[in-house]
């Protein structure tokens, strides 16, 4: 993965299943400043679609990247507002 | 007899300014404050039926929705501090259950199927009902307990989690539904 952004915080939601990855991502992003990037580390395979859907349906956040490796799903979300 | 409707005279016709004002008024009513809203009515208190309203409420809150969940009849048990941790799964009425209905109807079977489900919830790290409730409350979801059914079930207003709104009825729920972008009955 090319790292064109700096990660400000990492949220570990490994083991948690729907709806917790999205819900905790929302709470964590609210604690960041505008422009900062949250890394979300999950093992819920549904989080790929869920975080994507949440980011497109939510104002003030931008999904920068999603990766999958060894059943670990990583999501990079920037706070834009 | 004439059924002709006479044309409105020029004097009665609204002026352009009046029309513009009316259009603005209607658009304002449509827009609201731009806040997206969801209204859920939760009527069921079995373990399986307690999940959908809570999962959708917390997720909608994460999307920035203002969420109200109106709990009535058995749905009150989800908000009940003592009962919410002991919601049961019915072993009859669902042909997908691992036991035939005729066996499921035996005494104690609800407890068996409930324990099986609780074990699955635990094994899968699925959030518990209490966790979902507390998370939703933290995220600003408004949980309402229907006053009429509180009295019908002989519950006390203090039986519910802190932060639960009591003293509300169908008119409150209806108003929330009328204002909401999404309305669900569970």
Under DSSP, the state recorded for A32 is S
Q: Which residue segment(s) compose the domain that A58 sits in?
A: 9-79
Express each pLDDT in B43-60 by its tens digit: 999 999 999 999 999 999
Provide the ipTM.
Answer: 0.82
Mutate one of A23, A29, A38 to test the B interface: name it (highest B CB count within 10 A): A23
Is A23 part of the annotated catalytic residue set?
no
User: Looking at the DSSP assignment, which residues form a beta bridge with residue B183?
Assistant: B39
Show the tokens assigned to B33.
Answer: 């404050």
**Is A20's CB within 8 Å of B127's CB?**
yes
Give the integer Cα–Cα distance in Å for A50 and A55: 8
Show the tokens assigned to B166.
Answer: 């009591």
CATH 3.20.20.70, domain B37-91+128-185, yes or no? no
Express each pLDDT in A30-71 by its tens digit: 999 999 999 999 999 999 999 999 999 999 999 999 999 999
Which residue ranges make up each domain of chain B? 37-91+128-185
**Nearest chain A CA: its distance from B136 CA (Å):** 9
Check which CATH number belongs to the domain holding A59 and give it: 3.30.110.40
What is the residue-wise DSSP string for A42-70?
A: E--TTHHHHHHHHHHHSTTEEEEEEEEET
Establish if A58 belongs to a structural domain.
Answer: yes
pTM: 0.81
Domain count along chain A: 1
Establish if A4 belongs to a structural domain.
Answer: no
Establish if A1 belongs to a structural domain.
Answer: no
Give the integer Cα–Cα distance in Å for A68 and A45: 9
> Which residue in chain B is spatially nearest to A61 when comparing CA positions?
B63
């Amino acid at each position: 993965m090319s790292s064109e952004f700096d990660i400000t915080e990492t949220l570990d939601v490994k083991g948690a299943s729907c709806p917790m990855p999205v819900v905790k991502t929302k709470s964590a992003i609210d604690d960041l400043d505008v422009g900062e990037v949250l890394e979300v580390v999950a093992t819920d395979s549904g989080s790929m679609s869920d975080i994507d859907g949440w980011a497109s349906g939510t104002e003030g956040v931008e999904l920068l990247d999603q990766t999958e490796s060894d059943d670990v799903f990583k999501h990079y979300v920037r706070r834009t507002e | 007899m004439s059924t002709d409707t006479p044309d409105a005279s020029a004097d009665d016709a609204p002026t352009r300014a009046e029309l513009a004002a009316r259009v603005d008024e209607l658009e304002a009513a449509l827009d609201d404050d731009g806040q997206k809203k969801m209204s859920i009515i939760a009527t069921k208190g079995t373990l399986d039926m307690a999940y959908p309203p809570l999962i959708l409420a917390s997720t909608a809150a994460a999307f920035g929705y203002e969420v109200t969940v109106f709990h009535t009849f058995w749905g009150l048990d989800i908000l009940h501090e003592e009962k919410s941790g002991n919601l049961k799964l019915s072993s009859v009425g669902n042909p997908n259950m691992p036991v035939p209905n005729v066996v499921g109807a035996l005494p104690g079977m609800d407890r068996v199927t409930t324990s099986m489900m609780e074990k699955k919830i635990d094994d899968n790290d699925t959030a518990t009902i209490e966790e979902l409730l507390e998370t939703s409350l933290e995220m600003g979801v408004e949980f309402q307990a229907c006053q009429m059914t509180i009295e019908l079930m002989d519950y006390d207003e203090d039986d519910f989690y802190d932060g639960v709104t009591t003293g509300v009825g169908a008119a409150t729920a209806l108003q929330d539904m009328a204002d909401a972008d999404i309305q669900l009955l569970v």
